[in-house]
Structure 1
Amino acid sequence: MQEIETVLFDLGGVLVNWDPRHLYRKIFTDSSEMEYFLAEICHPHWNFLHDKAALEFENSIPDLQHRHPKYHDQIAAWRDRWPEMLAGSIGGTERVLEDLKHQNKVRLYALTNWSHQTWPHALAKFPFLQNFEGILVSGQEKLAKPDPRIFDLAASRFGFDPKTTLFIDDVEKNIQQAREMGFATHWFRDPAKLRKDLMDRGIL
């Protein structure tokens, strides 16, 4: 096992508690209707297209409203009330990040699938993002995980070697892609398991 010199974090689901349900539980009184809305209208792939800047709210919101007029206001809320999808940080992981920063054994970067239109909300809300030497945001690059090109871009821009980099993500297909490219990986489930893995690797 090569010594880890860099830790590359995903953000949503690892450090940031983002979930559209945090917003839509306030809007829908029927949870089954909410789940239908999030599965069939403002669905995960639709959100993913914003993450890689294939869609912009200026066009995507009116298009959905035209096709689903019954949900006109709920669709608008995705853009207008988007910050309410952020429930805060995942505290245990934030403490791991702070410990890594304090110990200064490894370089710290982030690679996130995030719309460039909503990214300013994250920057304003989460001071811990300043712990990273650099953050690569999919929506700013028009590439998104698990596309191997975004991993290559992160490595070239930040100057790290995948073989000495630990990549942390909560999405299995992203982990699989990184592993194929030579990264060490941690498939995130909870902060305690992450901390133990980092300790086992001698990083913490």
Structure 2
Amino acid sequence: MKNIIFDIGNVLLDFQPEKYLQKHFNASVMGDLMMIIFSSDEWIELDMGTMMIQDAIESLTLKHPHYHDEIIFVMENWTHMMTPLEKNVEIVKELKEKGYHLYLLSNFHKEAIQTMFQRYDFFQLFEGGIISANEQLVKPDQKIYQLLLQRYHLQAEESLFIDDMLSNIKMAEELHIHGLYLPYQADLRTELEKRHIL
């Protein structure tokens, strides 16, 4: 194994919108905002790179005027919930020291990923990566995996992909990339030790 490919949300950065919304809203409003924002077509378009944050705010507030202020607050501040999963970040550093080539493969909004790259310097450990919004492709579309392999001249059989969504792992494995399914809060170190990578 030469290349380790990381998803970002819930693998490198904590992404638990319900927990975040609970801090600011009551249970009823939280439930509504989860549906209105995080299950919206606009959220998918942000990942696809076919919509920017201001467009999404305009669209969502037009559809849900009774939550106008709440939508704006969440859309302008949600990246603050994304804090490093420190144990996994430490593993990234160890893998780099061991000589593995590190890459990113993530569904992420354009503006939000720029914020993350500026906020957290551990992203500098990665040699490259594919972010959905920059390519207008999202996992688990096989084209996004193929693009990663082609752009960085990677051999699928020499690459391990870590993701918290089973559907994303299954597509990687169809393309002969080794998959490591990592449900939220699963122990990455144990999984990598099992595979003799750490």
Question: Aligned-pair distance for 1:114?
Answer: 0.6
Q: Distance in 2 between matches of 1:201 and 1:168?
A: 13
Which structure 2 segments of 5+ residues have no match? none
Residue 196 of structure 1 aligns to a residue whose secondary structure is: helix
Conservation of the 8 A alpha-carbon contact between 1:23 and 1:81? no
Residue 54 of structure 2 aligns to a residue whose secondary structure is: helix
Superposed CA deviations along residues 160-193 of structure 1, whole A, max 9, x for unmatched, are: 1111111000011101111111111100136763
TM-score for both structures, normalised by structure 1: 0.89
> Following TM superposition, where does structure 1 have runs of at least 4 consecutive aligned residues deviating by more than 3 angstroms?
190-193
User: Is residue 144 of structure 2 the alignment partner of residue 147 of structure 1?
Assistant: no
Question: Aligned-pair distance for 1:12?
Answer: 0.7
Residue 18 of structure 1 aligns to a residue whose secondary structure is: coil
Q: 2:18 aligns with which of 16, 21, 24?
A: 21
Q: 1:92 aligns with which of 87, 92, 102?
A: 87
CA change 1:143–1:192 in 2 (3 A) is: closer
Q: 2:60 aligns with which of 55, 59, 64?
A: 64
Conservation of the 8 A alpha-carbon contact between 2:103 and 2:126? yes
What amino acid does structure 2 have at the position aligned with 1:125? R
TM-score for both structures, normalised by structure 2: 0.92
Q: 2:178 aligns with which of 180, 184, 191?
A: 184
User: Is residue 103 of structure 2 the alignment partner of residue 109 of structure 1?
Assistant: yes
Q: Distance in 1 between matches of 2:20 and 2:195?
A: 38
Q: Distance in 2 between matches of 1:99 and 1:194?
A: 12
Partner of 2:153: 159
Partner of 1:79: 75
Partner of 1:11: 8
CA change 1:65–1:190 in 2 (3 A) is: closer
| Percent of aligned pairs with the same amino acid | 29
Question: Aligned-pair distance for 1:157?
Answer: 0.7
Q: Distance in 1 between matches of 2:78 and 2:124?
A: 22
Which structure 1 segments of 5+ residues have no match? none
Q: Distance in 1 between matches of 2:184 and 2:18?
A: 20
Q: 2:37 aligns with which of 26, 42, 47?
A: 42
CA change 1:125–1:22 in 2 (3 A) is: farther
Conservation of the 8 A alpha-carbon contact between 1:115 and 1:138? yes
User: Is residue 132 of structure 2 the alignment partner of residue 138 of structure 1?
Assistant: yes
